[in-house]
Amino acid sequence: MIKTTDVKKAAATNREAAEAELDKLAKSMQRDGETFEKAYTRALDTDMGRSLMQTRDDAQELERDGVTSMDLTEARAKLAGT
């Protein structure tokens, strides 16, 4: 049986990794003279940025026993009767 504390620790590790990858993505996209914040915003508008943000958000929700995107997908499927 998986312990809740183990899931929360793994989620925290995944959240931190996603945040670090988002930072690296933004730094790789940063143009000369551009602020990190502007590059970060542009990075979030990429497929990779959206994926990393979803990973970060899901991990954060797992840390606090919240609702993840997987929970929402499952609920939508049940409502649709599939």
pLDDT digits (tens, 9 = 90+) for 27-81: 999 999 999 999 999 999 999 999 999 999 999 999 998 999 999 999 999 999 8
CA distance 57 to 16: 11
pTM of the model: 0.82
Domain layout of the chain by residue ranges = 4-80
Rounded-to-integer distance, Cα 30 and Cα 34, Å:
6
Check the CA dihedral 32-34-36-42 and report its sign. negative
What are the DSSP calls for 10-23, one per residue?
Answer: HHHHHHHHHHHHHH
CA 81 remoteness from chain centre: 28
